[in-house]
């Protein structure tokens, strides 16, 4: 501190080094969130998300509001006469006679559909005649009712069993099992293994997408500064590491901002929709939609909003092997550490090449583990304690995704801490390596350096 | 008073030697020409001066103390390969760069408005840089280099990309900075501008310094004792006498009226002796000493050095 006396005074009006990192962070952050593409994506995504939930429900509702179908049944088997049940959307009438004649008259008499049930000597066959378009869901409604009616008839005729008795039997014979996990302390806890798997997969996927999206933005940012040649001016004012940290943190903040806006906006829009049209989320509607989309998985979980909100947290809490807050903490940890590892390595890659097209050669060995961790998500979620799951959750390049997949099903705490420790250690290493490569790479134009050359850079002063 | 002392600086990259035991001093307040062929090591030296890169051996003194990280606030650097963020607004970007050099935002804004007015690019303040012509981008870059009023400035090929009018604007600006006491290191291949604005030079070739000094002193050192005499008429005896006294003569008419002689003065003769002959046998119109141009010195010295080193090998 030999310059404390005279030169100190002269220098005090200059910002401290830390402030310059802040300056870089704020530029990286502000220029990105002011971009049109950022604003559009940030606003559009929640709308799309909500639309994905609401549209199916809405479509069906609109459909049904418009369509009340009057069905004229011409039953040649005579099993079904007067056995169809009318509902809000369907009204059944019956007639017998010449089908051609009935068809002609029916459409004039404002029936939407003529249902002709053939003699049942060759099985249960029917024709549905309609004009213009067949109302959605009508065919399955008719078929379902026919199945039931015919089945009940069989029960009665062949086995002499009353349908109501059969229903009782069915209810009695339904097996229900609870899944209970015993943790390390011997405490038993009931939770749903399937939901664990799904939740873990969702967490893993979210981490994967965030890493890919934002770490590659770091790569592009580094490359931009290198290829437009501003970098030499910049590093004559800030140290390369400050520039690098500023960029990585700035982009991380952009990602967080986007995430927060997405969540808040989705919730707000969903809430708004719910307020504006509460009937959309009544049990009945949701059920209709679930039935309509054949497998039921087209409707996101959010559609089941009929659960009282205050119970949701408690409900979630009960599902998992470890506490929900612990999962959230781990998620934040792996999200942050995973992003930092990948973004520092990507930054090094961006500094090495001159054009984005060249970067693949270098990102390949870094990205491959990440892709592998995604490829193995299904097998890990079905076998969260296997050897593959264990090792992938230890390797720092795969652990952010893999550990999040395993976590909701419960992981030994030593495994978790070892994985976290390894990830942190690797992060320190990757920061060191990347800073070295970055410092030299950003000023190195022209010939792409070989791996050997890059290795030499690590030893340079 | 020296503002920069480079002391025995050596820099080795993995496969070659970039700077080999370089020492030189930049006098305070000078315009210092850093010259050398491509790949000689100028950029490496400049980067070491700007603390972008660090020497393997040797050290840099700035105003007498070892160069430290705070010193970069007192330095400005216009690299040869320069650019700006293309999508960022010009004014916003200039403020950012000025802030990185330690200026407060308000102060940066004030000074930038003035400079933008002066350089006639005010209307581009809110336009993204990619809409600016190359010349205007160069102006913005120059402005941001000098905005924090550094006492030491490095300009690497500052004139490239400027048309003659803007090049003059830049020269005036450099002259003004020099008047205000700024020391400027100018790295360029444009020898004409070296003659015009530099007062000191250093010549680097193949990672070694081969020449350094005051520009007048350097020219003096390499002058070849050749005089130029223009005469309106002369007798044939003049040629005979010059030849007798071992003056080497080249001559030819410059136009219808004058003939120009180039005379090399041998070591055992003086300029006065030569002039006496001219006075006797001709009518002298003008007389001056031919000084080598920086261009000639550059080429000669670099070629000499290369021959020497190839003999060594």
- What digits encode the pLDDT tens for the residues A236-254? 889 898 999 999 999 999 9
Using only C-alpha atoms, chain B has a radius of gyration, in whole angstroms, of: 25
| Structure tokens, A99 | 């089908």
Q: How confident is the model at residue A317 (pLDDT cuts 50, 70, 90)?
A: low
Q: Do A237 and B141 touch (CB under 8 A)?
A: no
| Structure tokens, B156 | 């690497």
Residue of B nearest to A223 (CA): B85
Query: What span, in angstroms and rounded, lies between the C-alpha atoms of A22 and B88?
Result: 18
Calculate the alpha carbon distances from A281 to A278, A292, A302, A364, B91 in Å. 6, 15, 10, 46, 52
- CA A204 to chain B, closest CA, distance in angstroms equals 35
Mean pLDDT of the A315-333 span: 72
Helix residue ranges, H only, chain B: 42-49, 90-100, 105-118, 134-146, 164-179, 191-197, 215-221, 236-244, 271-281, 294-312
Query: What span, in angstroms and rounded, lies between the C-alpha atoms of A377 and A338?
Result: 16
Selection from A13-22, A196-205, A303-312, A348-357 with the highest mean pLDDT:
A348-357
Q: Do A15 and B85 touch (CB under 8 A)?
A: no
Predicted complex ipTM exceeds 0.85: no
pLDDT for position A452: 85
Q: Where are the domains positioned within chain A?
A: 68-167, 192-272+312-459
Mean pLDDT of the A136-159 span: 84
Q: Where are the domains positioned within chain B?
A: 2-220, 224-290
Query: What span, in angstroms and rounded, lies between the C-alpha atoms of A329 and A419?
Result: 14
Q: How confident is the model at residue A290 (pLDDT cuts 50, 70, 90)?
A: very low
Report the range of poorest mean pLDDT among A48-57, A426-435, A450-459. A48-57
- Those of residues 4-63 in B touching chain A at CB distance below 8 A are 13-14, 47, 50-54, 56
Q: Which CATH number fits domain B2-220: 3.40.630.30, 3.40.50.150, 3.40.50.300, 2.60.40.10?
A: 3.40.50.300
> What element of type H or E holds A259?
helix A240-276
What residues of chain A lie within 8 A of the CB of B82, using their CB?
A: 229-230, 232-233
Is residue B201 less than 8 Å (CB to CB) from chain A?
Answer: no
Topology adopted by domain B224-290: Alpha-Beta Plaits (3.30.70)
Share of chain B above pLDDT 90, in %: 56
Residue A461 in contact with residue B48, Cβ under 8 Å?
Answer: no
Q: What tens digit of pLDDT does each residue of B274-299 get? A: 888 888 999 999 999 989 999 999 99
Q: Do B87 and A31 touch (CB under 8 A)?
A: yes
Q: Which residues contact A266 (CB under 8 A, 6 or more apart)?
A: A46, A49, A50
The whole-model pTM stands at 0.74
Of the candidates A7, A23, A229, the beta carbon closest to that of B99 is on A23
CB atoms within 10 A of CB A315: 12
User: Is there a shared CATH topology between the B2-220 domain and the B224-290 domain?
Assistant: no
Is residue A457 less than 8 Å (CB to CB) from chain B?
Answer: yes
Topology adopted by domain A68-167: D-Maltodextrin-Binding Protein; domain 2 (3.40.190)
- Those of residues 28-57 in A touching chain B at CB distance below 8 A are 31, 35
- CA B181 to chain A, closest CA, distance in angstroms equals 18
Of the candidates B81, B100, B104, the beta carbon closest to that of A234 is on B100
pLDDT for position A55: 79
Mean pLDDT of the B93-122 span: 93
């Amino acid at each position: 501190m030999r310059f404390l006396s005279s030169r100190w005074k002269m220098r005090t009006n200059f910002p401290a080094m830390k402030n310059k990192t802040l300056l870089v962070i704020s530029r990286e952050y502000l220029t990105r969130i002011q971009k049109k593409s950022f604003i559009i994506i940030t606003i559009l995504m929640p709308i799309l998300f909500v639309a994905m939930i609401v549209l199916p429900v809405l479509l069906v509702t609109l459909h049904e509001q418009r369509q009340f179908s009057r069905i004229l049944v011409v039953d040649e088997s005579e099993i079904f006469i007067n056995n169809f049940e009318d509902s809000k959307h369907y009204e059944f009438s019956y007639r017998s006679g010449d089908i051609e004649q009935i068809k002609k008259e029916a459409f004039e008499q404002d029936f939407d559909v003529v249902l002709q049930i053939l003699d049942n000597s060759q099985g249960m066959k029917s024709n549905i005649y309609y004009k213009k378009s067949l109302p959605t869901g009508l065919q399955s409604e008719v078929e379902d009712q026919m199945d039931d009616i015919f089945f009940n008839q069989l029960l009665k005729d062949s086995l002499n069993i009353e349908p109501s008795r059969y229903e009782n039997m069915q209810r009695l014979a339904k097996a229900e099992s609870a899944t209970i996990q015993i943790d390390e302390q011997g405490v038993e806890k009931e939770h749903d293994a399937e939901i664990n798997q799904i939740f873990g997969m969702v967490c893993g996927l979210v981490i994967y997408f965030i890493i890919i999206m934002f770490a590659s933005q770091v790569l592009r940012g580094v490359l931009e500064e290198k290829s437009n040649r501003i970098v030499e001016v910049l590093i004559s004012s800030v140290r390369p590491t400050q520039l690098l940290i500023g960029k990585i943190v700035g982009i991380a903040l952009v990602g967080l901002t986007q995430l927060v806006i997405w969540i808040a906006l989705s919730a707000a829009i969903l809430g708004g929709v719910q307020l504006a049209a509460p009937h959309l989320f009544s049990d009945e509607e949701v059920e209709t939609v679930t039935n309509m989309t054949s497998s039921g998985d087209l409707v996101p979980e959010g559609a089941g909003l009929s659960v009282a909100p205050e119970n949701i947290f408690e409900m979630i809490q009960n599902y998992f092997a470890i506490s929900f807050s612990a999962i959230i903490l781990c998620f934040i940890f792996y999200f942050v550490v995973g992003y930092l590892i990948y973004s520092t390595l990507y930054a090094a890659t961006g500094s090495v090449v001159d054009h984005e097209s060249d970067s693949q050669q270098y990102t390949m060995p870094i990205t491959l583990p990440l892709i592998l961790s995604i490829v193995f998500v299904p097998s890990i979620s079905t076998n969260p304690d296997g050897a593959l799951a264990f090792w992938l959750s230890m390797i720092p390049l795969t652990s952010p995704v893999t550990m999040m997949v395993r976590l909701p099903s419960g992981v030994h705490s030593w495994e978790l801490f070892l994985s976290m420790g390894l990830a942190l250690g690797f992060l320190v290493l990757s920061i060191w390596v990347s800073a070295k490569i970055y410092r030299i790479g950003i000023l190195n134009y022209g010939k792409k350096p070989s791996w050997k050359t890059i290795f030499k850079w690590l030893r340079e002063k | 008073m020296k503002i920069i002392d480079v002391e025995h600086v050596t820099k080795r990259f993995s496969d070659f030697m970039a700077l080999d035991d370089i020492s030189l001093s930049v006098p305070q307040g000078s315009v210092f020409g850093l010259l050398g062929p491509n790949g000689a090591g100028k950029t490496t030296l400049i980067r070491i001066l700007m603390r972008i890169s660090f020497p393997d051996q040797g050290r840099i003194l700035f105003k007498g103390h070892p160069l430290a990280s705070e010193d970069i606030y007192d330095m400005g650097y216009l690299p040869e390969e320069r650019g700006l963020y293309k999508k960022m607004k010009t004014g916003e970007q200039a403020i950012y760069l000025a802030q990185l050099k330690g200026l407060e935002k308000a102060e940066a804004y004030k000074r930038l408005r003035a400079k933008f007015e002066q350089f006639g690019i005010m209307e581009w303040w809110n336009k993204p840089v990619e809409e600016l012509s190359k010349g205007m981008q160069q102006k913005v870059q120059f402005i941001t280099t000098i905005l924090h009023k550094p006492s030491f400035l490095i300009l690497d090929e500052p004139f490239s990309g400027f048309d003659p009018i803007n090049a003059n604007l830049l020269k005036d600006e450099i002259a003004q900075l020099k008047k205000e006491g700024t020391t400027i290191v100018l790295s360029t291949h444009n020898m004409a501008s070296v003659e015009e604005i530099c007062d000191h030079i250093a010549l680097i070739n193949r990672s070694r310094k081969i020449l350094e000094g005051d520009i007048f002193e350097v020219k003096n050192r390499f002058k070849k004792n050749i005089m130029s005499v223009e005469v309106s008429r002369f007798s044939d005896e003049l040629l005979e006498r010059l030849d007798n006294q071992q003056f080497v003569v080249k001559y030819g008419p410059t136009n219808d009226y004058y003939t120009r002689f180039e005379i090399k003065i041998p070591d055992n003769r003086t300029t006065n002796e030569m002039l006496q002959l001219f006075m006797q046998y001709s009518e002298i119109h003008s007389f001056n000493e031919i000084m080598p141009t920086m261009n000639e010195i550059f080429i000669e010295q670099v070629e000499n050095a290369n021959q020497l080193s190839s003999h060594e090998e």
